[in-house]
Amino acid sequence: MEDKKMDRRMLRSRRQMQDALRELVAEKEYHRISVADIAEKAGVSRPTFYSHFKTRDDLLLSCFDATFEDFFEKLEDFMQSEEVDLGASFYARQLIVWVFELWAEREELIRLLLHSRAEGLVLQRFQEYTMQALQIHLERLGLVDYPEELKLLVVDCLAGVMMTLFRRWLENTETYTPELMGAMFETLMIPGLLAIFQGGDMNEWFVGEGA
């Protein structure tokens, strides 16, 4: 029972610091926010902050991580559904629509991440999660024999496009609906992805280069 109380206390402190960071970013630029500012706003001590996070950037990324933990739980269920055709081009549109619907529930967090002036950190983390999602998708399709260099290039392209679409979406969430973003992603990216992972020409080029 004591351990559960401690866990709840730690989770509460963590949420307080995440909420404090969101509030502070609305007041001033991210790079001007100190650990002391966060601790004061959250009502915790600096030692408490450092018991959870090594740096301010770790706190920022924890906001990102919490959302993607939910994302991957739902992604697994989504990809295992009998109604989803993983090999169809419209599958990607369905997935991106769903991603934007998920992020719409967390619009404040997206604004925090993209306007924090820590975009490099966010992009790097987004690339890591994009690689994880790509690996899941390729494994479901039985497409596993692809050079790491090729997958890294694909991830760079996918993450860059998604970050751009997120920025555009935030400019006008009413006009840029999840359905429109899904259609845009499908039009821009799917023909190329199908050519790479189903055509095999690019894979052969990488194998040839590495030989």
List, for residues 104-153, the tens digit of each pLDDT value: 877 776 777 666 666 677 778 888 888 888 887 777 777 667 778 888 88
Among positive and negative, which fits the CA dihedral 130, 186, 109, 72? Answer: negative
Burial class (CB in 10 A: 0-12, 13-18, 19+), 33: buried
- Res 211 pLDDT > 50: no
Q: Is 108 left (phi over 0), alpha (psi -120 to 50) or beta?
A: alpha
Q: Where is pLDDT greater, at 4 or 134?
A: 134
pLDDT score, position 173: 82
- Res 11 pLDDT > 50: yes
Confidence class for position 203, pLDDT limits 50, 70, 90? low
For the chain, give every domain's residue range. 1-53, 59-210
- Give the predicted TM-score (pTM) of the model: 0.68
- Quick one: fold of 1-53? Arc Repressor Mutant, subunit A (1.10.10)
Coil, helix or strand for 118?
Answer: coil
Mean pLDDT of 34-56: 94
